[in-house]
Amino acid sequence: MAGCASGAATPSESEAVDTPTSTTRTPRVVDDSGRPQITFDPCLDIPDELLLEAGYDTRSKEPTDYPMGTYSFIGCRFKGTLHIPGVLRRYGLNILSGNVTLEEELAKDRLIATETTINGRRALLEVDSNNQNSCAIAVESEFGIVIFSRTYFPDHTRGVPREQWCSGLGELVSSIEPLLDLPHS
């Protein structure tokens, strides 16, 4: 038979088609709640340099996911060391992005939350005297909220004075806040 050849046909250069790769990141957690998709991933969207400058070990990143059905949270845990003259304190930072509203967070934590702002953005300062050495700031975002929760682990049994529980956390949150609603790929 004329025109038949053995072997596989190879497309000519004009026939080869480049398949575009997507620059949109698939979220780690999605839910069927109808709430907005969480677009800020604390493990991926905070530059390592910013975390290193703030005293966090970027090698300690630990992703955390909380698919709850009617809402979701994705998060990241970090370890760090804060050097204070005469005292060395270890601490942990959890950053959670959730598709719940700031109003829902306030209703849940109204007894420990105080309304505030971070770089002009609505936020809640949450200090629970039952959760010693801890402080949290929940910041409103386009998709819901981002909660920055820090716990001190002092190297002594006296604990940390309550007025120091939140010391420096507002500055860290202020440095990350501009990244919350940026398009992330």
Res. 174: pLDDT tops 80? yes
Cα dist from 185 to 7, 39, 83, whole Å: 41, 9, 35
Residue with tokens 């120091």: 164
| Contact indicator for 38, 98 with CB cutoff of 8 Å | yes
Q: What is the pLDDT of residues 40-74, one digit of tens each?
A: 999 999 999 999 888 888 888 999 988 888 899 99
| Contact indicator for 28, 76 with CB cutoff of 8 Å | no
In three-state secondary structure terms, 26 is coil
Q: What is the pLDDT of residues 126-169, one digit of tens each?
A: 999 888 889 999 999 999 999 999 987 766 667 678 888 898 89
Predicted TM-score (pTM) above 0.85: no
Name the residue among 66, 12, 63 with its Cα closest to residue 42: 63
